[in-house]
């Protein structure tokens, strides 16, 4: 294509749109793989005649879910309650302390080592101690879950607040923006991708920590979570019920990850490079 001399030629680049077929495949492929895995599981049990007290079939697990849900659902709610309370506390504490740490290098040097110590100390060792020093088991479980979810949020938030473009910081200084204006209008928005990464990690870890803490505490009775139901099923050789509880925990973890990923996409898809599709 030729243009007359002196005439401006403009090139318009149109970003490729995701086709309907690609959207469908993004759903169909994972679902098909999941169905295939369940079918192979069922086929292995049927062909080998494996007793259900060793390895139940998917049908046995489904029947256990259908029959035992009056017991499993309240236990799931207990575990979820601890998980989300711990995650909320970790978000408040992680973000708040991260903002405090970046205000002064000396504060960071004084406080951050304690966060690292809490992170690297095994949860399984903390839980029995907390049972001694806390008024009830639920409080101990909440503290353990909080400690595990807290550090990823704190670490990612600190990294995000420190990763602001220095040119933008200099620009804010040039226009006389104070420390708090720079924090609110520059550092916090720029740290959102890091914060949301910490949120996704912390959401999964809070569930894992709640379950592990329940195992360590050995909590039983009406207020027990799914971890105790798994232990109880193992003691009684009710393996289908154990698998049913594991399926509920897995589905819960996937739902938490999906929810936090959705939040991340909603907040980032219009402006951040990690969520914007490439134009070529």
Per residue in 131-165, pLDDT tens? 788 888 888 888 888 888 898 899 899 988 888 88
For residues 15-20, give the mean pLDDT. Answer: 58
Sign, CA dihedral 213-143-86-268, equals negative
pLDDT at residue 242 greater than cutoff 80: yes
pLDDT at position 10, please?
A: 46
Per residue in 211-241, pLDDT tens? 888 887 765 555 678 888 888 888 888 899 9
Write 221-229 long-range contacts (CB < 8 A, 24+). Answer: 222/74, 223/78, 223/137, 223/138, 224/75, 224/78, 225/75, 225/76, 225/78, 225/79, 225/82, 225/141, 226/72, 226/75, 226/76, 226/78, 226/79, 227/79, 228/75, 229/71, 229/72, 229/75
Per-residue pLDDT band at 32 (split at 50, 70, 90): very high
pLDDT at residue 121 greater than cutoff 50: yes
Lookup: tokens for 22:
């690609």
The lowest-confidence range among 11-25, 171-185, 194-208, 245-259 is 11-25
pLDDT at position 33, please?
A: 93
For residues 232-254, give the mean pLDDT. Answer: 90
Per-residue pLDDT band at 62 (split at 50, 70, 90): very high
The lowest-confidence range among 95-99, 128-132, 140-144, 182-186 is 128-132
Pick from 81, 216, 226, 62: nearest CA to 142? 81
Distance CA 76, CA 69 (A): 10
pLDDT at position 19, please?
A: 66
pLDDT at position 274, please?
A: 59
For residues 177-188, give the mean pLDDT. Answer: 84
pTM of full prediction above 0.85? no
Backbone angles phi, psi at 238, to 5 degrees: -90, 70
Per-residue pLDDT band at 103 (split at 50, 70, 90): confident
pLDDT at position 247, please?
A: 92
Backbone angles phi, psi at 219, to 5 degrees: -65, 140
Per-residue pLDDT band at 25 (split at 50, 70, 90): confident
The lowest-confidence range among 101-115, 145-159, 191-205, 206-220 is 206-220
Rg (CA), the chain: 25
């Amino acid at each position: 294509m030729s243009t007359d001399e002196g005439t401006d030629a403009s090139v318009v680049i149109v970003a490729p749109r995701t086709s309907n077929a690609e959207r469908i495949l993004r759903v169909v492929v994972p679902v098909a793989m999941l169905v295939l895995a369940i079918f192979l599981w069922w086929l292995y049990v049927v062909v080998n005649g494996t007793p259900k007290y060793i390895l139940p079939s998917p049908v046995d697990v489904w029947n256990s879910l259908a029959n035992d849900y009056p017991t499993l659902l309240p236990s799931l709610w207990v575990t979820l309650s601890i998980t989300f309370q711990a995650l909320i506390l970790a978000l408040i504490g992680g973000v708040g302390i991260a903002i405090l740490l970046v205000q002064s290098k000396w504060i960071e040097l004084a406080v951050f080592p304690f966060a690292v110590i809490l992170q690297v100390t095994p949860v399984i060792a903390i839980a029995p101690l907390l049972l001694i020093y806390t008024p009830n088991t639920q409080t101990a479980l909440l503290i353990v879950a909080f400690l595990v979810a807290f550090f990823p949020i704190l670490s990612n938030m600190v990294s995000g607040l420190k990763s602001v473009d220095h040119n933008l910081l200099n620009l804010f200084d040039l226009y006389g923006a104070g420390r708090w204006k720079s924090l609110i209008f520059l550092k916090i928005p720029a740290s959102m991708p890091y914060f949301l990464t910490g949120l996704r990690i912390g959401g999964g870890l809070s569930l894992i920590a709640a379950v592990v803490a329940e195992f360590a505490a050995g909590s039983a009775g009406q207020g027990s979570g799914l971890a105790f139901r798994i232990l109880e099923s193992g003691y009684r050789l009710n393996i289908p019920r154990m698998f049913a509880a594991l399926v509920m925990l897995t589905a819960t973890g996937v739902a938490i990850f999906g929810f936090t990923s959705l939040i991340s996409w909603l907040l980032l898809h219009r402006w951040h490079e990690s969520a914007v599709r490439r134009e070529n």
